[in-house]
Chain A
Amino acid sequence: MSGQAEGGTMRPWSRYGLGCLSVLAALALWQAAGSFRLVPAGLLASPAQVVAALIDISRHGYRGTSLGQDIAATLARALAGFLVGSAVGVPLGLWMGTSRLTTAALDWIVQFLRPLPPLSFLVLLMLWLGTGNLAKVALLALTAFPIVTSATYAAVAAVPQQKIQAAQSLGASRAQIFAHVLLPAALPMISTGLRIALAAAFSTVVASELMAGSDGLGWMIFSASQFLRNDIILLGIILLGILGMGLNGLLLRLDHRLIHWRGRE
């Protein structure tokens, strides 16, 4: 049973206000670190420099690609990898959840892929699939796939037997049990798995842009680091962070909307 331990005593806008205060304080500290030489010159770009870089790149792009292109490329790769991984992972997880033989045959592959750091097999993927987007999306798909499959499988396995038996005793067919009992009961956990997988794919998209890249926010950061452009590096990091938070928030809201029966028995 869940419930707030302390009760929500704070009003939403005072929470928000404190949060803003906190961020502003950090920004001020950042600016001060540079202005007062608390940090040796060249190690840190000031907030002003980062903003200047933002304006410059929005207008003129970075080394031939516009900022919009870079953001779009990174997002597209992460989403594509996530979608492919999930499109395979959810059905497979469902199948494994209902068939012990399938699990026995395929689970070892999923368990092997799970702990594998994506960077470790990027080189192999590039060898097999070339230096273009195919290898990058494949990397992200392989990152998302085991997470989604495991979560789906666990979700199906967690459905209480009583529910299934109850439906069976009412004369429901296998298909009806699947569609009206199993799936709805499993969806919350599947959704959580999908969120984690998207986070993982987003986390890895920068790694995928490390080699033979030509666009994307990750590529922009790596390229800028070669020219020691700290301002662009920081800009890239901040943009990535905002994108990540946005994606996360979006998914959370989708989850709340669509899986409105979460938590109810």
Chain B
Amino acid sequence: MVEQSVIGRRRVMAGATGLALAAALPLRRARAATPTINIGYFVETKPTMIAKAQGWFEEMAAAKINWIEMGSGAQINAGMVGGSLDIGMGIGSSPSAAGISQGIPYKVIAMLDNIGPAEEMTVRASDNIKAPADFKGKKIATPFGSTSHFRLMGFLKTNGLSLSDVTVLDLPPEQIVAAWKRGDIDGAYVWSPAKAELLADGGAVYETYKELDARGYVIADLFVARNAFAKAHGMAVTGILKAYGKALDLYQSKPDEAAAIVGKAAGVSTEVAAANLKEYDFVPLREQLTSQWLGSPGKPGAFAAELEHTAEFLVGQKSIRRALKLPAYQKGIDTHYLEEAVA
């Protein structure tokens, strides 16, 4: 009698434990199925704003998103180190190269855009600046640490201009506009909307991007994903990229509608949004997988070399302690989420 009840008790215990486990498991899986993604982003006139406004990111990643506004790529890096950011959207290639070199635990998963002419040197039309030598004695402003800063320093270097020839000032974009209006600066290397305001106020473009791109000063805005997060939620990461792809498609097929959505989200008029959007080279997701850009898994593309070059440049600026060799930057790019997103 006693033995039977003992066995009975054990069976009941086992059964209860089994039930408890069975009950707990679906709960845990359910929690894993709707993760919360912490995304650091910028309020800017780019197609990411479309996907954000329409909720496509949440939809395709099947996740809740914590949108954290960033002031600079450096803040994205800081957030990644501390683990408080999972995805960085729109981080420049400069801070990304720095991040990979410093061992920040993230990888580049896609390009947001190739910047090209969108960030450019703007000078006063009345100053009649036609050649690099004309920059001597001028005050040029740029936000330090940005891709524009990188380009400006590249411009000085490739044209043999030193920091005593040209005064370079660190100003955020909105102060560049104010300084320009006051006449405190002679030029700026910056992006729109600041750039557009300078051009509208007696400014003229001094084209540098073609030459700089050819000399290895390609700049781009990127998506980065924290390693631990990506490993745990690969599907969500792919979803994020899918959502961006959808936004890009909308921009290609219906640019006016896209511009209206972007304008509303960024707090500017549709016209300004449309003009800003046109300046960027939004490389389609499929094209990013070619050898010209990020390459595909196992076949790294040319962009890794751009990151290496950027890192070497940053070492020269004392912004980072050391640059790594090319394979490190190739490994710093992980395109298999991209591949899944276009599949």
- List the A residue with the shortest CB-CB distance to B177: A228
Most chain B Cβ neighbours within 10 Å, of A131, A210, A213: A131
Indicate if A63 sits at the interface (CB-CB under 8 A).
yes
Of the residues B75, B83, B181, B267, contact of A212 by C-beta under 8 Å: B75
A126 touches B69 (CB 8 A): no
Indicate if A36 sits at the interface (CB-CB under 8 A).
no
A126 touches B68 (CB 8 A): no
Indicate if B232 sits at the interface (CB-CB under 8 A).
no
- Known contacts A63-B267, A130-B82, A214-B68: A226-B75 contact under CB 8 Å: no
Indicate if B302 sits at the interface (CB-CB under 8 A).
no
B174 touches A130 (CB 8 A): no
A212 touches B82 (CB 8 A): no
Q: Which positions 195-245 of chain A face chain B at CB distance < 8 Å?
A: 210-214, 222, 225-228
- Known contacts A63-B267, A226-B174: A129-B69 contact under CB 8 Å: no
Q: How far is the CA of A49 from the CA of B78 in the complex (A)?
A: 38
A228 touches B174 (CB 8 A): yes
Most chain B Cβ neighbours within 10 Å, of A63, A214, A226, A227: A226
Q: Type the 1/0 row for B110-137, where 1 means its CB is closer than 8 Å to any CB of A.
A: 0000000000000000000000000000
What count of chain A residues pass the 8 Å CB interface test?
A: 20
Please name all residues of chain A whose beta carbon is closer than 8 Å to the beta carbon of B75 when the two chains form the complex: 126, 131, 211-212
Q: Which positions 126-163 of chain A face chain B at CB distance < 8 Å?
A: 126-132
- Known contacts A63-B267, A212-B71, A214-B69: A131-B79 contact under CB 8 Å: yes
Indicate if A91 sits at the interface (CB-CB under 8 A).
no
B68 touches A131 (CB 8 A): yes
Q: How far is the CA of A226 from the CA of B85 in the complex (A)?
A: 23
Q: Type the 1/0 row for A109-132, where 1 means its CB is closer than 8 Å to any CB of B.
A: 000000000000001001111111
Indicate if B178 sits at the interface (CB-CB under 8 A).
yes
Q: How far is the CA of A128 from the CA of B79 in the complex (A)?
A: 9
Most chain A Cβ neighbours within 10 Å, of B79, B83, B173, B178: B79
- Known contacts A212-B75, A214-B69: A131-B174 contact under CB 8 Å: no
Please name all residues of chain A whose beta carbon is closer than 8 Å to the beta carbon of B81 when the two chains form the complex: 127
Please name all residues of chain B whose beta carbon is closer than 8 Å to the beta carbon of A226 when the two chains form the complex: 172-174
Please name all residues of chain B whose beta carbon is closer than 8 Å to the beta carbon of A130 when the two chains form the complex: 79, 82-84
Indicate if B63 sits at the interface (CB-CB under 8 A).
no
Please name all residues of chain B whose beta carbon is closer than 8 Å to the beta carbon of A129 when the two chains form the complex: 82
Please name all residues of chain B whose beta carbon is closer than 8 Å to the beta carbon of A17 when the two chains form the complex: none
Q: How far is the CA of A210 from the CA of B79 in the complex (A)?
A: 14
B174 touches A126 (CB 8 A): no
Please name all residues of chain A whose beta carbon is closer than 8 Å to the beta carbon of B78 when the two chains form the complex: 123, 126-127, 131, 211-212
- B269 to chain A minimum Cβ distance, whole angstroms, is 12
Indicate if A42 sits at the interface (CB-CB under 8 A).
yes
The A contact surface, by secondary structure, is: loop
- A73 to chain B minimum Cβ distance, whole angstroms, is 14
Of the residues A42, A211, A213, A227, contact of B174 by C-beta under 8 Å: A227
- List the B residue with the shortest CB-CB distance to A130: B84
A212 touches B177 (CB 8 A): no
B69 touches A212 (CB 8 A): yes
Please name all residues of chain B whose beta carbon is closer than 8 Å to the beta carbon of A227 when the two chains form the complex: 174, 267
Indicate if B305 sits at the interface (CB-CB under 8 A).
no
A213 touches B173 (CB 8 A): no
- Known contacts A63-B267, A225-B174, A228-B174: A131-B69 contact under CB 8 Å: no
- A257 to chain B minimum Cβ distance, whole angstroms, is 42
Q: How far is the CA of A171 from the CA of B70 in the complex (A)?
A: 63
Please name all residues of chain B whose beta carbon is closer than 8 Å to the beta carbon of A63 when the two chains form the complex: 267
- List the B residue with the shortest CB-CB distance to A128: B82
Q: Type the 1/0 row for A7-44, where 1 means its CB is closer than 8 Å to any CB of B.
A: 00000000000000000000000000000000000100
Q: How far is the CA of A130 from the CA of B78 in the complex (A)?
A: 8
Please name all residues of chain B whose beta carbon is closer than 8 Å to the beta carbon of A214 when the two chains form the complex: 67-69
A212 touches B174 (CB 8 A): no
- B241 to chain A minimum Cβ distance, whole angstroms, is 23
Please name all residues of chain A whose beta carbon is closer than 8 Å to the beta carbon of B82 when the two chains form the complex: 126-131
Q: How far is the CA of A131 from the CA of B174 in the complex (A)?
A: 23
Q: Type the 1/0 row for B166-194, where 1 means its CB is closer than 8 Å to any CB of A.
A: 00000011100110010000000000000
- Shortest Cβ-Cβ A-B pairs, 5 listed: A130-B84, A130-B82, A131-B79, A131-B84, A226-B174
A-side residues, CB < 8 A to B, are 42, 63, 123, 126-132, 210-214, 222, 225-228
8 contacts between A and B (CB under 8 A): A126-B79, A130-B82, A130-B84, A131-B68, A131-B79, A212-B75, A225-B174, A227-B267
B-side residues, CB < 8 A to A, are 40, 67-71, 75, 78-79, 81-85, 172-174, 177-178, 181, 267
With A63-B267, A130-B84, A211-B71 given, can you name 13 additional A-B contacts, CB distance below 8 Å?
A127-B78, A127-B81, A130-B79, A131-B68, A131-B85, A212-B70, A212-B75, A212-B78, A213-B69, A214-B67, A226-B172, A226-B173, A228-B177
